[in-house]
Amino acid sequence: MSLDGITLRSLVHELSNTLIEGKINKIYQPENDELLISIRNKGKNEKLILSASSNNPRIHFTNSTKENPQSPPMFCMLLRKHLQNGKILSIKQQYLERIIKITISNYDELGVLSEKELIIEIMGRHSNIILIEKRTKKIIDAIKRITPDISSVRQVLPGVKYQLPPNQNKLNPLKLNKEQFFNIINNVNEGNKIYKFIYENFVGISPLIAKEICSRENIYENSLIGGLNEEDKEKIFLSFKKLINDVINNNNKPSMIYNEYKTKILGFSSIDLTQFKESKKVYFNSISDLLNTVYETKDRLDRIQQKSLSLKKHIKTKLDRDKNKLAKQKEELFNAKNREKYKIYGELITANIYKIEKGMDILTTENYYDNNNLIEIKLNPNLTPSENAQKYFKRYNKLKNAFNEVSIQISQTKEEINYLEHILLSIENSTDLSELEEIKEELIDGGYVKYRRKNKSREKKNIKSKPLHFISSDGFDMYVGKNNRQNDYLTLKFADKEDIWLHTKDIPGSHIIIRKNNKEVPEETLYEAALLAAFHSKGKMSSNVAIDYTEKKNVKKPNRAKPGMVIYENNNTLYVTPTEKEISKIEKNK
Of the candidates 125, 142, 159, which is a domain's last residue? Answer: 142
* Confidence grade of residue 588 (pLDDT, cut at 50, 70, 90): low
Helix axis angle, 230-248 to 178-185, nearest 10°? 130
The residue-averaged pLDDT of 415-436 equals 86
Mean confidence (pLDDT) of the chain: 89
Of the candidates 290, 305, 324, which is a domain's last residue? Answer: 290
Q: Are residues 89 and 207 in the same domain?
A: no
Contact 50, 59 (CB under 8 A): yes
Answer whether residue 225 is part of any domain: yes
Q: pLDDT tens digits, residue range 446-458?
A: 888 876 554 444 4
Answer whether residue 408 is part of any domain: no
Taken in order 525, 528, 533, 534, the sign of the CA dihedral is positive
265 SS3 class: strand
For residue 20, pLDDT over 70 is answered with yes
In angstroms, rounded to a whole number, what is the distance separating the alpha carbons of residues 278 and 293? 18
Taking the CB of residue 429, how many other CB atoms lie within 10 A of it? 23
Q: Are residues 283 and 233 in the same domain?
A: yes
In angstroms, rounded to a whole number, what is the distance separating the alpha carbons of residues 576 and 67? 50
In angstroms, rounded to a whole number, what is the distance separating the alpha carbons of residues 503 and 488? 13
Answer whether residue 445 is part of any domain: no
Provide the β-strand partners of residue 504.
547
Provide the β-strand partners of residue 174.
none
Q: Are residues 229 and 274 in the same domain?
A: yes
Residues whose CB falls within 8 Å of the CB of residue 371, separated by 6 or more in sequence, listed in order: none
Provide the β-strand partners of residue 50.
35, 59
CATH (domain of 238):
1.10.8.50
Q: Are residues 209 and 120 in the same domain?
A: no
Q: Are residues 133 and 183 in the same domain?
A: no
Contact 93, 9 (CB under 8 A): yes
Answer whether residue 410 is part of any domain: no
How is residue 166 annotated by DSSP?
P
Answer whether residue 429 is part of any domain: no
Q: Are residues 180 and 251 in the same domain?
A: yes
The residue-averaged pLDDT of 351-375 equals 87
Contact 61, 288 (CB under 8 A): yes
Provide the β-strand partners of residue 106.
114
How is residue 504 annotated by DSSP?
E
Residue 448 CA to its chain's centroid (Å): 24
For residue 432, pLDDT over 90 is answered with no
Q: pLDDT tens digits, residue range 103-121?
A: 999 998 888 899 999 999 9
Residues whose CB falls within 8 Å of the CB of residue 295, separated by 6 or more in sequence, listed in order: 56, 58, 60
* Confidence grade of residue 443 (pLDDT, cut at 50, 70, 90): confident
Contact 438, 485 (CB under 8 A): yes
Q: What is the pLDDT of residue 518?
A: 92
In angstroms, rounded to a whole number, what is the distance separating the alpha carbons of residues 191 and 211? 17
pLDDT cut 90: percent of the chain above it: 57
Taking the CB of residue 147, how many other CB atoms lie within 10 A of it? 10
Residues whose CB falls within 8 Å of the CB of residue 44, separated by 6 or more in sequence, listed in order: none
CATH (domain of 60):
2.30.310.10
Contact 519, 477 (CB under 8 A): no
Taken in order 400, 402, 403, 407, the sign of the CA dihedral is positive
Amino acid of residue 282: V
Residue 3 CA to its chain's centroid (Å): 20
Of 450, 422, 423, 427, nearest in space to 304 by CA: 427
- In three state form, how does the secondary structure of 45-86 look? EEEEEEECCCCCCEEEECCCCCCCCCCCCHHHHHHHHHHCCC
Answer whether residue 281 is part of any domain: yes
* Confidence grade of residue 297 (pLDDT, cut at 50, 70, 90): confident
Q: Are residues 30 and 96 in the same domain?
A: yes
What is the per-residue burial (b if ≥16 Cβ within 10 Å, else e) of 14-40?
A: bbeebbeebbbeebbbebebbbbbebe
Of 354, 339, 353, nearest in space to 392 by CA: 339
* Confidence grade of residue 76 (pLDDT, cut at 50, 70, 90): very high
Taken in order 528, 529, 531, 535, the sign of the CA dihedral is positive
Taken in order 529, 466, 318, 405, the sign of the CA dihedral is negative
Which conformational region is residue 570 in: left (phi greater than 0), alpha (psi within -120 to 50 degrees), or beta?
A: left
Contact 3, 98 (CB under 8 A): yes
Answer whether residue 311 is part of any domain: no
Q: In what order do the strands lie in the sheet with 255-258?
A: 265-269, 255-258, 281-283
Q: Are residues 478 and 557 in the same domain?
A: yes
Of 510, 539, 342, 491, nearest in space to 427 by CA: 510
195 SS3 class: helix
Q: pLDDT tens digits, residue range 370-412?
A: 888 988 989 999 998 898 899 888 888 888 888 888 888 898 8
Contact 443, 423 (CB under 8 A): yes
In angstroms, rounded to a whole number, what is the distance separating the alpha carbons of residues 8 and 270? 8
pLDDT cut 70: percent of the chain above it: 96
Residue 236 CA to its chain's centroid (Å): 34
In angstroms, rounded to a whole number, what is the distance separating the alpha carbons of residues 239 and 250? 17
Residue 312 CA to its chain's centroid (Å): 13
How is residue 357 annotated by DSSP?
P
Q: Are residues 180 and 138 in the same domain?
A: no
Answer whether residue 83 is part of any domain: yes
Q: Are residues 106 and 197 in the same domain?
A: no
What share of residues in the chain are helix, strand, coil (percent, to 5)?
40, 20, 35
449 SS3 class: coil
Q: Are residues 86 and 186 in the same domain?
A: no
Contact 473, 531 (CB under 8 A): no
Q: pLDDT tens digits, residue range 157-212?
A: 999 999 998 877 889 999 889 999 999 999 888 889 999 999 999 999 999 999 99
Q: Are residues 186 and 284 in the same domain?
A: yes
Q: Which region among 91-105, 353-367, 517-531 has the lowest average model confidence (pLDDT)?
A: 353-367
For residue 459, pLDDT over 60 is answered with no
How many independent structural domains does the chain possess? 3
Of the candidates 124, 142, 160, which is a domain's last residue? Answer: 142
- Using CB atoms within 10 Å of the CB of residue 560, give its burial: 0 to 12 exposed, 13 to 18 middle, 19+ buried: exposed
Q: What is the pLDDT of residue 262?
A: 66
Helix axis angle, 433-445 to 385-429, nearest 10°? 160
Give the ranges where 477-522 is alpha helix by DSSP (H): 484-488
Backbone angles phi, psi at 337, to 5 degrees: -65, -20
The residue-averaged pLDDT of 421-446 equals 85
Q: Domain range spanning residue 66? A: 5-142
Q: What is the pLDDT of residue 557?
A: 93
